[in-house]
Structures are given as structure tokens and as C-alpha cells.
Structure 1
């Protein structure tokens, strides 16, 4: 019997390949659902992690995602969307994936043991940064090497793993245990473990966006409106927040160059971009506080 739950066989393993197509699909769906239930016990630590990420970004530090294999793809999916969703500057996001970010379907497994590459990648980590290290097993050499350096340099370290005895938790300031059950296909952590990791990262980074003032009533107010779809969304957001007609919202969004917070302040009565920008700076980018200041 494997010592790690992520490597164990699930109860449906025997005869799994003999099931019908529908039965296999049902089993896979149930496995994904069971993995997501692991988030419930981790919510307090996920919340701490999101708040710590917000502190780092607000102070000018970086978020450094580090992982290998499937966990690396989960990290990439979260990190790559932070700019478009919350307007986080690209310079404040780093992605260290063992072997580099793949550009095709080849993703060799031996790179996860390359601690030399990890040491080189971690060279620029400072105490202002927060490292988010992921590993389903909790013992992958590449993210552990980076986490060890980050800890030694005083950076924040958030570790996410799916086994309760994860070695990387000893390196963490915040340990997020996603105790997913054995995979439907033993060891295929791109399934349940990866699903839980992706959901946890979504929760952490979204909470970060809220705490940075980039969410207002469930709206993405720091979204980068750089295409037609997002410009239309920005207009809708401004209409809703400032309670104005689409024509006024469209004018405000255009005047603000697609910056939703500035546009909302203009539509709500700020006399010009300079005034809107000043109010927003004085309220540290918090649109709700800026709107209240404008009403004063």
C-alpha cells in the first residue's frame, strides 16, 4: 500500500476499465466532486493565504508561483489571469515551473528533481515576496528547493499539498492541506488533487483581489478593458455602480482609457481625471472608499 494518499488506489479501482462509458464518466465526476469537498477543512488557511498575498502586492512585492507537472499547470492557470482579472502588474507575478512553461504537449517528469534549476530560479527572491509552492505529494524537490530559499530570505511561504504528512509544510508560514481522497486512477493527480489545487488558488487570488479593493459588489473593477468584450463589460460595471445611462458610462470609460475605477468616479461626478485619480490614490485604490469621499 503506498504511503501517500495521492498514490493510493480508490475503492472503484478493481475492474474500472471494464465499466461502461457512462459508468466511467460518473466515477470520474464523483472523484472530482469528492476532491472539491477537501476545500472545506482548508478554508481558514486559504483565507490566511489570500490575505497574505494581498499584503505582498500592496507593499510592492511579488507573488511567485512554483511547482512542477500538473501542479505547475494549475499555478500557471491562476497566475496568468491575475493581470486581466484584477489589474495586477505583470512585474509583480512570477511563475517558476520545473522545466519551464511548456509550449507543446511535451512535459518531461525528470525536471521536478532539478534542484539546480530551482536554485537559479530563486536567485532574485526577496523578503518582500510571497512564494506559493504547490505539490500534490508535498515532497517534490523543485518547489521545496525554492520554498527553502524563500524562507531563508524572509519571504512569505505558502505551501499547498494534498497529503497530511507533506514535507513541504515544514517550510511554510501558511500550510494549505487539501486532503483529497485517492484518485480514481491511482497517482493521476491532474484529476482530484489538481482540481482541488486550482479551486484553492482561485479562492486565494480572488480574496486577494477583494482585499486590494479590486472588487466592488462582486464586480471586477480593476479589470483591464483591452478588448471589445471587456470594454462592454466595463460600461456595464460603470452603469451599475454609478447608476448612470449607458451613454454616460461609455463616455466615462473612453475618457478613462478603460480604467474602470476612474470611469466609475467620473460617471459618479468627479470633475475630471485628475480629481478622480487623486481621490483614488488617497483611498489606496479602494473604489468604495473613493466613492464615499466623492460624495463628501
Structure 2
């Protein structure tokens, strides 16, 4: 006979199986039962056709994404942060987006943060049962001293990951902006967040492999959350990165090229302006366009909250 522990475990398993059976991300497509019989070229065509569904599905949620971008931007302006929380692939996508912001936009590493269930180890290796710890994200958010000025974006393909649900519920309880990115409708994380972004793209190319279309969807959305909020903060000018940090030879060359393209000066003049500006592309461009020295140009940028277009207008 089953003891009470076994009975409870079987009951939870049956409940989970029932939940999974109703998720689009877990469904098996009857159109792909013959994948192992196809030649490679046909497999490429089939998989690419599935991937093409993703940007179209994302476009249907433009209003929700724009609302999230505006909320994130407003909190950035008040000194707030953007914090991603997720498990597995979803967590890695948040960590990746956060790690790309400092070199791309010149942000402090604390401005955009990625938290993944299981910690740093989980970035490269699976950490068993980490996603089931509903209190772990809250503990991490407490360590970060989360406030109402921050934004927490929970990412989960299934939309039911306990780690993400717990983190969003805690964040919303203290007044932080909460956003959920899920690949199933009527999701648990959507219900826990102020702004649910539930983008359904149908069964995965390989049933249940949510690193595929779901992962691509998540990457497209987080790209927009950070890129568009940074544009609104003045981190770009005429579609070009002007707050990048030259941490290697390639980025140094890109800095010089950016200055030449935006100002029309030659390489030597661009390099000299960059040196006078302490390596700041934005400041170098302002100095050259407005014909200003470094100190007044720096003051104009500060007055314009770092928005180059406004600083140029002020000095012209």
C-alpha cells in the first residue's frame, strides 16, 4: 500500500501532468511526426518556417511591450533598475541581456541585472529543482534591496515557474513595476505581474523544447525592453550608439568611426576629440558639432540629462 507521502507525491504528479497537457509549449504537433525521416534541407525549411511565426506573434503585443518600455524608462530616470528573473533558458536570456548593456550603452552593471534560479552555476549547467523554489527569487531581490523604483521582469515559457511567480509576487507587493514574459496565455506569471506579455507561438519544433520558439520570443522582447528604454534615455543619437564603452580594440575603432560618421571630421580629428573627451563618444560628438570645449560641453550634457540632441541645441 502507498503511504501518505507516496500518495501526496502521486497526486502532485497527476496535477502537474494535467497542467502540462494544456500548455501550448508542451503540445506535440501532428505535422512533425516525420522529422526523423526528412533530409537536412527539408528540416532547415521546416524549422525556419516555424521560427518565422515568432516576430509576427511578438508584433501582436506591441502595445503591452511599449507600456513596459515606458514604465522601465520612467523608473530608470528615478534611479531605478531593471531586474530579470528566470530559470533555465529563460534565466540565461535575462542574464545575457543584462550583461550586454554596459558595453553597448555605457551603463553601470547594477542598472540591469539578471537573476537565474540556481545562481551563477545555472548559467552553464542545469541545477536540479532550482526553478521550484518559490522563495529563492525573493531572497535574491531582498539582497538587491529592491524598491518601488525598480522593475522586475519575470521570464518563463510555461508561465508557471514557481521561482518566477514568487519573485514577481514579492516585487509587486513592495510596489516595483512587474512585467511577465510568457509563451502561454492565462499564465501564473501573467496574473502575478502588472504588465503581462503572453506571446503564444504554438507547439515547439521539438515538443517541449522551449529554448526554440519560446526562447527566440523572449530574446526579441528583452531586446526591445532594454534597447528602446535606452533610446528614450538618450543612449543613442541618429540611430547610433553614443554611450558605448571602448573596452577593446574593436570598440575603440568603432568609437572613432562613430565620431567621424556623426560629425564629418577625419580620423585624426575624431581621435583627438575622443582623447579630450576622456573616451566619451557622446561628449566628443557634442564638442565637435557645437564647437565647444570639454567642460562646457560636459555641463550641457548634464543639463540635458545626457540627451545629446538637446545638448547640441542648447550650445548651438
Q: SS of the counterpart of 1:225?
A: coil
Shift of 1:269: 3.6
Alignment-derived partner of residue 2 in structure 1 = 21
Counterparts in 2 of 1:189-208, with a 5 A limit? 189-208=210-229
1:105 Cα shift?
Answer: 4.3
Structure 2 equivalent of residue 286 of structure 1? 307
Select the residue among 68, 73, 81 that pairs with 1:49. 68
| CA distance, structure 2, for counterparts of residue 22 and residue 193 of structure 1 | 23
SS in 2 for 1:102: helix
How many residue pairs get aligned? The number is: 295
1:277 Cα offset (Å): 0.9
Equivalences for residues 190-269 of structure 1 within 5 A? 190-269=211-290
The secondary structure found in structure 1 opposite 2:110 is helix
Q: Which moved more, 1:183-192 or 1:82-91?
A: 82-91
Alpha-carbon displacement from aligned partner over 1:131-162 (angstroms, at most 9, x marks no partner): 01100111100011110000000000011101
Match of 1:164, SS state, is coil
Counterpart contact for 2:103–2:245, Cα < 8 Å: yes
State the partner residue of 1:85: 104
2:76 aligned with 1:76, yes or no?
no
Shift of 1:117: 1.9
Contact (CA 8 Å) 2:243, 2:280: kept in 1 or not? yes
CA distance, structure 2, for counterparts of residue 127 and residue 152 of structure 1: 9
Q: TM-score, normalised by structure 1?
A: 0.95
1:122 aligns with 2:109: no
Distance across 1 between alignment mates of 2:123 and 2:221: 26
Residue matched to 1:18 = 37
1:149 matched to 2:166? The reply is no
Q: Give 1:54 deviation, angstroms.
A: 1.5
Q: Do residues 139 (structure 1) and 160 (structure 2) align? A: yes
Q: List runs of 5+ in structure 2 lacking aligned partners.
A: 1-19
Q: Secondary structure at the match of 2:207?
A: coil
Over 6 Å off, 4+ runs: none
**8 Å contact 1:178–1:197 — kept in the other structure?**
no
Shift of 1:103: 6.9
TM-score, length-normalised on structure 2?
A: 0.89
Q: Which runs of 5+ in 1 are unaligned?
A: none
Task: Kindly report the root-mean-square deviation, in angstroms, between the aligned alpha carbons of the 2 structures.
Answer: 1.6
Once the two structures are TM-superposed, the CA of residue 109 in structure 1 deviates from its matched residue by 4.2
| 1:66 paired to 2:82 | no
CA–CA separation in structure 2 for the residues paired with 1:260 and 1:235: 8
The answer as to whether partners of 2:85 and 2:137 remain within 8 angstroms in 1 is: no
Cα shift readout 1:255-282 (whole Å, capped 9, x = no counterpart): 2122111111122244322111100011
- Asked if residue 186 in structure 1 is aligned to residue 186 in structure 2, the reply is no
Indicate the SS of the match to 2:204: coil
Give the 5 Å matches for 1:154-165.
Answer: 154-165=175-186
1-structure distance, mates of 2:48, 2:128: 27
- For the residue of structure 2 that corresponds to 1:284, the secondary structure is coil
Higher RCO (C-alpha under 8 Å, 6+ residues apart): 1
What is the CA-CA distance between 1:104 and the residue it aligns to? 7.2
Contact 2:179 2:193 in 1 (8 A): yes
- Retained in 2: the 8 A contact 1:98–1:111? yes
